[in-house]
Amino acid sequence: MKMRPLLHSCYFDVSGIAVTERDLFLDRIDRLTSSHALHSSESLCKLLRYLAKHAVDHPGVPIKEFQIATEVFGRSPDFDPQLDSMVRVQAGRLRSKLAEYYGSEGQEDPIIIELPKGTYVLSFHHRSSSVPKPSLGSAAVVPTKAAVEKSVERRWGSEIISLSILLAAAVLVIVYLLASRTVLPRDTALGSEPVPAAFRVFWHGFLSGQDEPWVVFSNAAFVGRPETGMRYRDPKRDANAAILDHYTGVGEVLGVHELDRVFGILHGRIRLKRGSLFSLDDAKNNNLIFIGSPSENLSLLEIPGTQEFVFDRLASGPRKGDQAIVSVHPQPDEPKNFLATPSGQPLTEDYAVIALLRGMNAGQAILILAGTTTIGTQAAVEYVCRQSSIEELLLRLSVSQNGDLKPFESVIRVKVVRGVPVATELVAIRKTAA
């Protein structure tokens, strides 16, 4: 594959509208941050956008590691690149993700974006085919049917051999992984992965107890049948109807996966329980992490919940009946109600609550991670499972890397693209009574 550098020029698209290569480049960045390779890593997307803006605004101008650390990742002015390799690590991860993208879903992209080793300046190139196209004046060579069939047979034969080799290799890898999983304890397998200081501060209360915290995920009560149609159970209307309480959302499933990953890094474990099986004994005897809002995770209605940001359905107005996060004491620059995209439209925005509360007994903690939709719930869990966003949260709460995290309630805005949370923003936060 040959590539030629992108030049700052102008061309016309199929509609006849002039498009600058700068606009094309930024459009490619948006596609990258929404891709499967990058959408789940907000810190890498933030880094990529920053480097892209620098590349188009200051082409060819070097960028310093200190500048990235302070302006992208919120490091303090005394940041020392010699002592903290965070920027280099993130840049290495971004290079790997770019390679992953162009090796899969980006194989046909007309522009290749790279972060060369040894620099933080993005480079971008046109992709050009290595196969020369016949000129208009030359005669086209049309292969015979026999030649085509023979070529197809050769190609299929080689592909079958290649697939057989890959299948055998995959079987060996699976056998190896299963054997390793049975031999190595979890702590040993993950011992080489460093634990960020922000993780230790945020998750300290859920790691200090003798027992693993319970993760209580939502499974709302439905009536009906999957094959004929289901709906939320209405206690008045469906008093005698059979209840289906074994369904949960996509966001809850992915959220549990993220929590398991983070507790693995912290050499801890979690225990799962679906909301319909939750009991007050669980609340009295365990640290708890709730995934899902009270409309889905009905077990939240059985314990003292949030006081500053509460879930409620609007009783009047154009959004009557819609689920909202209501700010009990809104600040001058905050809305009273945080609402997702109206129903009936593609979901592009949601809001979620992240709240740390005192448990029902001394020394216990409750963490609530809940969106007005299952996608918002996923975003809330991912927010507290990323180093960069936890660091942002601790900074807003004025908690040092050796500090003690006190109860708080917060709201995040979630940008959604094709059913995937791609970006989050902390829009409101309150410190609550200890």
Q: What is the pLDDT of residue 293?
A: 78
Residue type, 299: S
pLDDT, position 428 = 95
Instruction: Find residue 324's DSSP bridge partners.
Output: 312, 339
Range of the domain at 74: 2-128
| DSSP states of 32-69 | HHTSTTTTT-HHHHHHHHHHHHHHHHSTT----HHHHH
pLDDT value at position 227? 75
Phi/psi for 3 (5° steps) reads: -135, 145
Please state, in angstroms and rounded to a whole number, the distance separating the CA atoms of residues 66 and 75: 9
Beta-carbon contacts of residue 42 (< 8 Å; ≥ 6 apart): 382, 386, 388, 389, 423, 424
317 and 225 assigned to the same domain: yes
Domain assignment present for residue 139? The answer is no
CB-neighbour burial class of residue 210 (10 A; exposed 0-12, middle 13-18, buried 19+): exposed
In a domain, 101, yes or no: yes
Mean pLDDT split into 10-residue runs, the chain, 434 residues: 46 45 79 82 88 84 88 84 82 87 85 87 72 36 45 50 51 46 39 75 85 82 76 74 76 90 89 76 79 70 80 88 91 91 90 91 87 92 93 91 88 92 93 78
Looking at the fold, whether 266 and 388 belong to one and the same domain comes out as yes
Flag whether 99 is in a domain.
yes
Contact 426, 410 (CB under 8 A): yes
Buried b / exposed e over 74-98, threshold 16 CB at 10 Å, is: ebeeebeeeeeebbeebbeebeebb
Q: Which pLDDT score, from 0 to 100, does residue 305 have? A: 81
Q: Does one domain contain both 115 and 203?
A: no
Q: Which pLDDT belongs to residue 329? A: 93
- Asked whether 332 and 315 are in contact (CB, 8 A), the reply is no
Same domain, 220 and 294: yes
- Count CB-CB contacts under 10 A for residue 285: 16
SS3 93: helix
Which residues fall within 8 angstroms of residue 406, CB to CB, at 6 or more apart? 356, 397, 399, 431, 432, 434
The end-to-end CA distance of the chain, in Å, is 61
330-356 in b/e burial notation, b at 16+ Cβ within 10 A?
Answer: eeeeebeebbbeeeeeebeebbbbbbb
Give yes or no: residues 69 and 177 share one domain. Answer: no
For 272, the enclosing helix (H) or strand (E) is strand 271-274
The answer for residues whose C-beta is within 8 angstroms of residue 141's C-beta and 6 or more apart is: none
Cβ-in-10-Å burial (0-12, 13-18, 19+) of 133 comes to exposed
Residues 112, 210, single domain; the answer is no
**3-class SS at 158?**
helix
**Do 238 and 156 share a structural domain?**
no
> Among residues 366, 160, 195, 167, which one has the least CA distance to residue 266?
195
CA–CA dist 394, 382 (Å, integer): 16
153 and 67 within one domain: no
Domain assignment of residue 190, yes or no: no
> Long-range pairs for 256-265 at CB < 8 Å and ≥24 separation?
256/215, 256/217, 256/291, 256/381, 258/381, 258/382, 258/385, 259/215, 259/289, 259/291, 259/381, 259/385, 261/385, 262/199, 262/203, 262/385, 263/203, 264/186, 264/190, 265/190, 265/193, 265/195, 265/199
Q: Token pair 């956008």 is at which residue?
A: 49
Residue that has been written with the tokens 């940041």 in this structure:
79
pLDDT of residue 139: 36
210 and 99 co-located in one domain: no
Q: What is the DSSP letter of 216?
A: E
Nearest residue to 408 (alpha-carbon basis) of 330, 351, 356, 369: 356
Q: What is the pLDDT of residue 180?
A: 43
Does any domain span residue 251?
yes
Overall number of domains in the chain: 3
**CB 7 within 8 Å of CB 21:** yes
Q: Indicate whether 80 belongs to any domain.
A: yes
Q: Give φ, ψ of 17 to 5 degrees.
A: -90, 135
Residues 402 and 314 placed together within one structural domain of the fold: yes
85 and 220 fall within a common domain: no
Q: Quote the pLDDT of residue 309.
A: 93
Q: Which residues pair with 370 in a beta bridge?
A: 353
Give domain status of residue 192, yes or no.
Answer: no
Distance, in Å, from the CA atom of 187 to the CA atom of 195, rounded to the nearest integer, reads: 12
Contact in structure between 195 and 187 (CB atoms under 8 Å): no
d(CA 352, CA 327): 12
**What pLDDT is stored for residue 406 in this prediction?**
92
In a domain, 396, yes or no: yes
How, if at all, do strands 214-217 and 111-114 pair? unpaired
Same domain? 157 vs 255: no
